[in-house]
Structure 1
Amino acid sequence: MTEPQSASSSPASPVSPVRADHSGGVPDLRRTGIHPDFWYPVAVSGSVRKKSTFAANFAGERIALYRGESGAVHALEDRCAHRQVPLSMGVVEGETLRCCYHAWAYRGNGRISQIPYLPKGVDRPPRGVHAYPVREAYGLVFVFPGDPAKAATTPLPDLPEFASPRHKTMTFSRTVHCHYSFMHENLLDMNHQFLHRGILGKIQPKLLGYETGPQFVEARYLFTHVGGKKDRGAGMLAAEGIGGSKSPDVITIRTQYPYQTLRLVAEGAEHPAFSLWVAYVPEDAEQRTNHAYGLLMIEKPPIPGALHIAWPFIRRFTERVFAEDRTAVEAEQRAWDEQRQDRNQEIFPVIRDVRDVLRANGTPILPAAALADSGFSRPCP
């Protein structure tokens, strides 16, 4: 975890002049791609069944996941080296994946294992398909789409609450039609609670302070419920002592590139009532659609079985909040698509700083024609 490089202003500090992203030569964040040299979830583990395949995507790269007889998951470029037919349409045999078209078989490292009709004396083609480093953790399948040499030294996110008997985890997996940066901004900027007034009632967020560094922005908010009717799920959270009460709660939200976390600590509590970890994984080459994978880890209340009873109501509550957020961020993306530039006039320093972090750590999105002209190709075995 990166140490703070500069303490940024508290709410009482002066705000610098507005820096509109569409002026002053500042690169448009919505044309910045996510950096591939990290572990990204591309599937829920339960979706990749034994001896079956699963079609995944990362920023326009099609990936065929398959789980072999041993239970291990493999990740290959989703195009057969022969005729480019998707390998995700293939058949799993032991630890190999056989293309559905001409039955070419591939090992988990991408090398061609067998071509059934290969004539005697004819060598196999020297190139197989690209294989991605793959790991399974937290009920998710992670791949490393960047430089494979960096995979071994790049850690997975550390989520101690996931395995803790004191917590129960709710998994989310949703496609959102917007650039991943809108998602970071939405969660970090708690000033948008008016959007959720029908679910949360009247919430008064107050920025207590924030820190920023080359790879992170962390903001702390004080949340106070000041009136209005809450959704039943929010009421269940409060009733079971899982935040959401009338007393103020402190929420800490952190973008630690490329992931994001949220932790809620009720007033006077020693441990967070719940914590959320989320990754926004671009699906298309232009990165205007992302898949959000989230893990909501909720501390169990003292009453045995209470959380189990509340679980359906909590899920409904979180799904409703997410649905409203999705409506907003997808509207932001449509505005960008219509104008083909970022015309946001952002005044909140936390969001301006997270935009800088996402720009600095990302990579430019090349137009499809430029990518083709560059001759870019994945190394194959």
Structure 2
Amino acid sequence: MKVRVRQGDTFWLYSQMFRIPVQLIEDSNPEVSPTSLLVGQTINIPGYVIEEYTIQQGDTIWKLARERNLAMDTIFLLNPNINPNQLQINERILLPKLVTSLIVDGNEEYDFAKLKEDINRLVEIYPFLKLNEIGKSVLGKPLYEIELGRGVRTTHFNASFHANEWITTPVLMKLLNEYVLSLVNGSPIRGVSTLPLYNRNRLSIVPMVNPDGVDLVLNGPPEQMKEEVLAINKGSMDFSSWKANIRGVDLNNQFPANWEIEKERKEPKSPAPRDYPGDAPLTEPEVIAIAELTQKKQFARVLAFHTQGREFYWGYEGLEPPESEALAREFARVSGYESVRYIDSHAGYKDWFIYIYHRPGFTFELGYGVNPLPITQFPQIYEEMLGVFLVSLYM
């Protein structure tokens, strides 16, 4: 919601009027100096939207404010020319409305268009979210990173490296939504106050690493690559088993952490719906974008969401730090997932992160069954990952 500055207005005043932490107002207006607001300047107020209201018989500003649990000054801020003593029946005024419910449903098929719709709505309502384009997919779709928080420690989450594991994206987006809703409303999540987490952490989220692949699984082949994709899929229009990007390269076998081992032993030696590691590491634009982002941001820890197995992996070649084991214990406790230190696998994002940075990295295999997991598992998976999300920011 946008408001215009009046004489004497300050971020602190807005914080008191709207009952929102001043940090969130400051971070929603990064180009504005909080010490020198200018009359008439436009300011973002996070967590609110504007609704039109038609004055009814018996309405007063005091009554409207009380019914909506608003400070009366918030109504005057949106209606600077209103005369509270001369309200007219059928007169239309603007009222601020606090958003108290989630924007992201998640319990639905979730393609790139749906992701964009939810991202745009979240950034509009919660402008302390910073949206970055970190690269483009093979077909030119933007690869989005969402940033928030004030801390020096950056925790990174990503989802949908694999196309038919798309359910991981709405899980991650709903976690983000619940977090920002909690920040603005001052409501704890499972008894945990979230503003201290915001002040302590910087959060980086790439919700869909492989948008071309996700759209292929959910919507079928794109016209511009229909022949190539069908050839890779042996002529079948059933793409439910497709994990790779649109060029048939498995993005989570593309990182330079003993990539040569995976290249030698993986059965596909050419583009395939899954498991083909490419002709060299870091050839695909999606992987290059993630690697460059990781190098630029120097994440303190990373969590990659995959499916399935209700387990997570957290070691690589003995290079993981002691901190990883403590985190793994807590993740297992709050999720009920099996903690697995080592598996015979290389060239994944988590592997490369530990290999290069010697920092905590985790691959979570959400849910249980055959990919793509049925959307009916979404509620349970979400609840399991909510504890993991909180622990990752708390510890």
Query: Which category describes the TM-score, using the shorter chain as reference length?
Result: under 0.3
TM-score, structure 2 as length reference: 0.22
Instruction: Identify, as 1 or 2, the structure richer in strand.
Output: 1
Task: Tell which has more relative contact order, 1 or 2 (C-alpha 8 A, sep 6+).
Answer: 1
